[in-house]
Chain A
Amino acid sequence: MAGDVILATSDVTMRFGGLAAVTDLSLAVRRGTIAGLIGPNGAGKTTCFNMITGFYKPTMGTIVFDGQEVTGLPPHKVCKAGIARTFQNIRLFGNETVLENVMIGRHLRQKTSWIDAVLFTPGYLREDKAMRAHCLELLAAVGLADLADEQASSLAYGAQRRLEIARALATEPSFLLLDEPAAGMNPQESEDLMGFVRTIRQDFDLTILLIEHDMKVVMGICEHIWVLDYGVTIAEGAPEAIRRDPKVILAYLGEEGGLHA
């Protein structure tokens, strides 16, 4: 399953004034895997995501995605290169319908412009129709096809999470970053989510990197894990090794105890 490295960050550092949020981060995510980024609150996980997706420009270091350097590119170019993300606090376009949300993700791959729409060119009509059909398929894939015309903000919490993933998938990514996908879910929902993440990896040919606090989810689906504490990578490896790593246990749970999975 594990292929070549699709995303590599080398010695990436992010400083905000005097605060080093992330120090010398070196990830190497292999193509086709599901990888995890864990650590206590404030460890710098979301900062990593923001650097990879171009929201922050790293103070030092380089990020290479699929053989192309993406360090410091603006977010829309990173997205075009094939990296999509979701947000920790769900950020949908609340006033738009479910279908429109997905179509916004799709616009990146759209060829005709609004001028074609004004002129009713045949090319526009064809593409618009195809785009709608494609987006409805994506919604069906995440189980939201029935809700296509609902306003996004009226969806239930779990459905909003899935919509955010569908919207990210619409940009045709090869790499998907999920920021706490299981947050606020009960054990049964988390279980479903794990199956769902595996399915989309398979169906959409994805590599997935996720941030998660739910250890059951992390240990259950991640094939490789990086552990951050105060911006420093304190461990990396397979789930079994991480679970037993004394440094991780110390950082995560304090002096005593272990990671229960």
Chain B
Amino acid sequence: MRRGQTVILNLVAVAALGGFLWLAEGNFDGYKIQILNLIAINIILALSLNLIYGFTGLFSLGHAGFMAIGAYICSILIMTPDQKDMLFLLEPAYDWVQNAQAPFLVAVLAGGLVAAAIGALVGFPLLRLGDDYLGIATLGFAEIIRVLANNFPRLTNGALGFKGIPDYANLWWNFGWCLVTLYVIVRLLKSNTGNVLKAIRDDEAAARAMGVNVFRYKLLSFTVGAFFAGVGGALLASLLTTIDPKMFLFTLTFNILMIVVAGGLGSLSGTVMAGIGITVLLEWLRVVENPVDIFGYELPGVPGMRMVVFSLALIMIILFRREGLMGMRELHWQSLFKVFSRGRA
């Protein structure tokens, strides 16, 4: 298929998404719209983790940390000084925190950039570690960020967190950023730099012999991943309008990791599909937490039951389909057409 055709098809797909969002905005209730918003944000987060883990082979569990950085930076920038005056009960905010203000776009960008800068900074020592050690160290990093958020009340309002963050993050912002993330990561991976990242994942020693400065490319992937994790965190803060350190526990990283593994390590289209599927399932499975009535016996609902179901699902994936939904394959327009023409024949 020629490039021109692909570009047109991509534009049509984006337009279709836009039309869908416009319809959804007018007709869906708040709950469904919230789910759509969460889908977009989860896809952003999962794409960035797949870049780091699936494509570069860096086992990183620090996503919650980067999200926290993005969320706090963005929230500080979009809340008005009056709001912050009311919020900071424990101790007054630093002057620059008190007075800082920026439009939403700048605030989200700032959240991403600060997350990227801190990612590069911690990447320097951490990315020299291999495999599991990197996982443990990045997990530690995320915990450190959370503990810091708890203990710097003049910056983060401590354990109370922020409430009443302006809810700018609507469908358009979230899906807009989702498309930007997808575009940048696709272009990055399609360029020769993407080949180099995959080479590092496949065989680091051979990559070094081919003249690849392995550390530099690991740092690049980690930093770009951290940027989009920060962006995702920033959008999430504005969507939920309230954040506190407890929100950024390890389980948050785990949810993202689940999407990446279910979709396929090394498949962007798999990540998008799993991002939609798992976000919807997480809501849909709330049913299993309700009390059920079987032949007159009342079974009480168990809170947290859906996480049990999800853990089971993840175990099933690892046992029976380790490569996830898509493995390392990608969905192209070409492969879609093939499926359709086969269906007609």
Residue ranges of A at the interface with B (Cβ–Cβ < 8 Å): 53, 55, 74-76, 79-80, 84-85, 87, 91-96, 100, 103-108, 110, 113-114, 116-118, 124, 128, 131, 167-168, 170-171
Query: Which of A85, A103, A168 touches B192 (beta carbons < 8 Å)?
Result: A103
In B163-205, the 8 Å CB interface with A consists of 183-184, 187-188, 190-196, 198-199, 201-203, 205
Q: Decide if B193 touches A93 in the complex (CB within 8 Å).
A: no
B213 adjacent to chain A (CB < 8 Å): yes
In B296-332, the 8 Å CB interface with A consists of 328
Residues of B within 8 A of A108 (CB): 210-212
B214 adjacent to chain A (CB < 8 Å): yes
Q: Decide if B192 touches A95 in the complex (CB within 8 Å).
A: no
Q: Decide if A107 touches B208 in the complex (CB within 8 Å).
A: no
Interface mask (B131-159 → A, CB under 8 Å = 1, otherwise 0): 00000000000000000000000000000
Which residue of chain B has the shortest Cβ distance to A110 in the bound complex?
B192
Query: Which of A85, A118, A128, A171 touches B188 (beta carbons < 8 Å)?
Result: A118
Q: Decide if B214 touches A76 in the complex (CB within 8 Å).
A: yes
Residues of B within 8 A of A167 (CB): 210
Q: Decide if A114 touches B193 in the complex (CB within 8 Å).
A: yes
What's the Cα separation between A55 and B199 when bound, in Å?
Answer: 17
Residue ranges of B at the interface with A (Cβ–Cβ < 8 Å): 183-184, 187-188, 190-196, 198-199, 201-203, 205-214, 220, 266, 328
Residues of B within 8 A of A170 (CB): 210
Q: Decide if B184 touches A171 in the complex (CB within 8 Å).
A: no
User: In angstroms, how far is the closest chain B Cβ from the Cβ of A104?
Assistant: 5
Residues of A within 8 A of B201 (CB): 95
Q: Decide if B209 touches A79 in the complex (CB within 8 Å).
A: yes
What's the Cα separation between A214 and B220 when bound, in Å?
Answer: 43
Residues of A within 8 A of B211 (CB): 75-76, 79-80, 105, 107-108, 171
What's the Cα separation between A104 and B213 when bound, in Å?
Answer: 12
Query: Which of B193, B202, B208, B220 touches A96 (beta carbons < 8 Å)?
Result: B202
Q: Decide if A79 touches B210 in the complex (CB within 8 Å).
A: yes
Q: Decide if B190 touches A85 in the complex (CB within 8 Å).
A: no
Q: Decide if B187 touches A76 in the complex (CB within 8 Å).
A: no
Q: Decide if A76 touches B213 in the complex (CB within 8 Å).
A: yes
User: In angstroms, how far is the closest chain B Cβ from the Cβ of A148?
Assistant: 14
Which residue of chain B has the shortest Cβ distance to A54 in the bound complex?
B208
Q: Decide if A55 touches B210 in the complex (CB within 8 Å).
A: no
Q: Decide if B266 touches A91 in the complex (CB within 8 Å).
A: no
What's the Cα separation between A85 and B206 when bound, in Å?
Answer: 9
If the complex has contacts A76-B212, A91-B203, A93-B206, are A107 and B187 also in contact, measured as CB distance less than 8 A? Answer: no
Q: Decide if A55 touches B187 in the complex (CB within 8 Å).
A: no
Q: Decide if B209 touches A104 in the complex (CB within 8 Å).
A: no
User: In angstroms, how far is the closest chain A Cβ from the Cβ of B3?
Assistant: 10
Query: Which of A55, A84, A107 touches B205 (beta carbons < 8 Å)?
Result: A55
Which residue of chain A has the shortest Cβ distance to B188 in the bound complex?
A114
Residues of B within 8 A of A92 (CB): 203, 206
Going nearest first, the 8 A-B pairs with the smallest beta carbon separation are: A79-B211, A117-B191, A108-B211, A114-B193, A91-B206, A75-B208, A93-B202, A118-B187
Which residue of chain A has the shortest Cβ distance to B201 in the bound complex?
A95
Q: Please indicate which of the listed interface residues B188, B210, B214 has the most CB atoms of chain A within 10 Å of its own CB.
A: B210
What's the Cα separation between A128 and B188 when bound, in Å?
Answer: 13
Residues of B within 8 A of A85 (CB): 209
User: In angstroms, how far is the closest chain A Cβ from the Cβ of B197?
Assistant: 9
Which residue of chain B has the shortest Cβ distance to A100 in the bound complex?
B195
What's the Cα separation between A110 and B211 when bound, in Å?
Answer: 12
User: In angstroms, how far is the closest chain A Cβ from the Cβ of B305?
Assistant: 38
Q: Decide if A93 touches B198 in the complex (CB within 8 Å).
A: yes
Q: Decide if A53 touches B198 in the complex (CB within 8 Å).
A: no
Residues of A within 8 A of B199 (CB): 93, 96, 104
If the complex has contacts A95-B328, A96-B199, A114-B187, are A106 and B192 also in contact, measured as CB distance less than 8 A? Answer: yes
Q: Decide if A104 touches B192 in the complex (CB within 8 Å).
A: yes
What's the Cα separation between A62 and B183 when bound, in Å?
Answer: 48
What's the Cα separation between A95 and B193 when bound, in Å?
Answer: 15
User: In angstroms, how far is the closest chain B Cβ from the Cβ of A242?
Assistant: 29
Q: Decide if B198 touches A55 in the complex (CB within 8 Å).
A: no
Q: Decide if B194 touches A107 in the complex (CB within 8 Å).
A: no
What's the Cα separation between A131 and B213 when bound, in Å?
Answer: 20
User: In angstroms, how far is the closest chain A Cβ from the Cβ of B48?
Assistant: 15
Q: Decide if A104 touches B184 in the complex (CB within 8 Å).
A: no
User: In angstroms, how far is the closest chain A Cβ from the Cβ of B321?
Assistant: 18
What's the Cα separation between A230 and B134 when bound, in Å?
Answer: 38
Which residue of chain A has the shortest Cβ distance to B216 in the bound complex?
A76
What's the Cα separation between A55 and B208 when bound, in Å?
Answer: 9
Residues of A within 8 A of B183 (CB): 118
If the complex has contacts A104-B192, A118-B184, are A171 and B198 also in contact, measured as CB distance less than 8 A? Answer: no
User: In angstroms, how far is the closest chain A Cβ from the Cβ of B12?
Assistant: 19
What's the Cα separation between A53 and B212 when bound, in Å?
Answer: 13
What's the Cα separation between A116 and B193 when bound, in Å?
Answer: 11
